[in-house]
Amino acid sequence: MYNTKYECRYHKDSIFLETDIVTEDEKDFIRDVLYKEDLLHIFCVNDDDDSDSFDSVILELYEKINNCEELTECMKLSAGKLMSENEHMGLCILYSYDFMHLTHKCVSTYLENGVICMDDLTKLKNQLI
């Protein structure tokens, strides 16, 4: 259901070599493709699955993490960006392009250990604010 061992690639500068001759638009396109691949791998969902499948894995994840105060606070912060207090919506926003690499670290650590690394949580909150 959730791949805690997966490491996001889309946000890393190391995906491009100094010798790569690509425009900024091409880099953005590549990052977008990698983001989608990262998202699919994190949630163990196939590219051909429908949106209902993704909705169900997000709901399943929400049920596993909604008792974590730190993650609930982040869900509320992200939902607030859309003038909402809906934590489920906030969780979806946390997996958007700008936040996923940070969210994934926090959620993975929580699912594996029951706690979140404070450094990772601080980075996520700073990005949300």
- 20-70 residue pLDDT tens: 898 999 999 999 999 999 999 999 888 766 666 778 899 999 999 999 999
Domain presence at residue 5: no
Domain presence at residue 3: no
Domain count across the chain: 1
Domain presence at residue 68: yes
Mean pLDDT over each residue of the chain, to the nearest integer: 92
State the average pLDDT over residues 91-112.
97
Which of the pair, 52 or 98, is modelled with greater confidence? Answer: 98
Domain presence at residue 70: yes
Residue 95 confidence (pLDDT) above 90: yes
Q: Which residue segment(s) compose the domain that 61 sits in?
A: 13-128
Look up the pTM and report it.
Answer: 0.89
Domain presence at residue 8: no
SS3 annotation, 12-36: CHHHCCCCCCCCHHHHHHHHHHHHH
Q: What is the pLDDT of residue 45?
A: 86
Domain presence at residue 1: no
Domain presence at residue 2: no
